[in-house]
Structure 1
Amino acid sequence: MREPMSVEEVLKRLQEALGEALLSHEVREYTMGVRRKRTYRELWIEIDPKAFRRAVEVMFELDYPHLHFITGEDDGGDSLRMVYSFGLFWAIPWGELSVTMRFNLPKDSLVLPTITDLMPGAETNEREIREMLGVEFEGLKNKRHLFLPDDWPEGKYPWRKDEYGVEDMVKHTHKSVNEIRRGE
């Protein structure tokens, strides 16, 4: 079993590969344990969205990453905030390094390359982001809904702050949320 790389070594590799597309970085450190204290380090990077695929490929060059999560957030502006979190060296006890990459994706260009060809387990996260926020993943083969009904209208995304009328599309089979709150 090989030794894990330090957070500084991982950052250096990302800087070499991404250049100016790595916009900023932050190293976070946590101490855990009572008798035997251990330090856990995280690397948070802000990248240009055009460098997203290359950043993921670099992590695969370093180690096979464990996907923690993929999420997106709409703050109501002109872009969505995308966050991808991976664990490197997760198979080495106390060697895991969390790498979280963030970037803004303009709402007028909500397209990202899929990473399911590198990591099949990303499919569920990509499908969820696609149906809830409207991000299109180029190369994603399975585009069926995960959570919304099959007859959900195209172009309506429940997690978007610029979305209106979603409540009218939700089918209520029993009592509405408001009826429950009022105790009816």
Structure 2
Amino acid sequence: MNALTAEEVLEMLKSSLGDALLEHEIRTYTAGTKKKREYQEVWIKIDRKAFRKAVEKIFSIDYPHLHFITGEDTGGDIIEIIYSFALFHGIPWKQLSIVMKIDLPKSELVLPSITDLMIGAETNEREIREMLGIEFDGLKNKRHLFLPDDWPEGKYPWRKDEYGVDDMIKHTHKSVKEIRREQHG
């Protein structure tokens, strides 16, 4: 497949998503020191109900490279999830990033898993589930990645409405003070 322009990809997304495409912009950057080149990113914000449709549209354009999935508790009742994909990966100076944002109300923290399309998304989904409390419908492996197995249910370290880290440490296997005592006698 030939690489498409950012404008062409954005038009395909607009056509597919309609009113579910809430915001969009194309950002252009310059890279390089001697030979300057431009590259572009398509930034979109979509309605959460159109998430799977948006991802499937991206996959239909070109099998993407997943940069990352992350999230942020914006305060209040919303957690923002951000997916970053690269289309036309490996085509010099034609790679196109798509950054997709979705607002999830804290009362309904569920998104479909994309692991059936891209198994490599599992680690990212597990991390977001563990740190922000978002459930990924269809995610088979729900074991913790970073937190101990006995971490209290319903405690999410990246959430602004959580207790402080010091409060959570008492629930881990060993506190920082205990570890330091063991290391330094």
* TM-score after normalising by structure 2: 0.90
Q: Against the structure 1 CA distance between its residues 174 and 131, is the aligned structure 2 distance closer, same or farther, given a 3 Å change threshold?
A: closer
Partner in structure 1 of residue 174 of structure 2: 172
Partner in structure 2 of residue 16 of structure 1: 15
Offset at residue 169 of structure 1 (A): 1.9
> What letter is aligned with 1:45?
I
SS in 2 for 1:44: strand
Runs of 4+ in structure 1 deviating by more than 6 angstroms, as ranges, are none
Q: Could you list the runs of 5+ residues in structure 1 that have no partner in the other structure?
A: none
Instruction: Give aligned pairs, total.
Output: 178
Q: Against the structure 1 CA distance between its residues 94 and 172, is the aligned structure 2 distance closer, same or farther, given a 3 Å change threshold?
A: same
CA distance in 1, matches of 2:168, 2:33: 49
> What letter is aligned with 1:158?
P
Offset at residue 174 of structure 1 (A): 5.2
Partner in structure 2 of residue 145 of structure 1: 144
Partner in structure 2 of residue 89 of structure 1: 88
Offset at residue 6 of structure 1 (A): 0.3
Instruction: Please show how residues 1-184 of structure 1 align to structure 2 within 5 Å.
Output: 2-164=1-163, 165-173=167-175, 175=177
Q: Could you list the runs of 5+ residues in structure 2 that have no partner in the other structure?
A: none
Q: Against the structure 1 CA distance between its residues 53 and 172, is the aligned structure 2 distance closer, same or farther, given a 3 Å change threshold?
A: same
CA distance in 1, matches of 2:86, 2:36: 21
> What percent identity do the matched residue pairs reach?
63
Q: Against the structure 1 CA distance between its residues 176 and 80, is the aligned structure 2 distance closer, same or farther, given a 3 Å change threshold?
A: farther
CA distance in 2, matches of 1:20, 1:29: 25
> What letter is aligned with 2:60?
E
Alignment RMSD: 1.8
Offset at residue 75 of structure 1 (A): 2.1
**Contact between 2:113 and 2:137, CA under 8 Å: does it hold in 1?**
yes
Offset at residue 161 of structure 1 (A): 1.1
Offset at residue 176 of structure 1 (A): 6.7
CA distance in 2, matches of 1:77, 1:100: 23
* TM-score after normalising by structure 1: 0.91
CA distance in 2, matches of 1:5, 1:176: 56
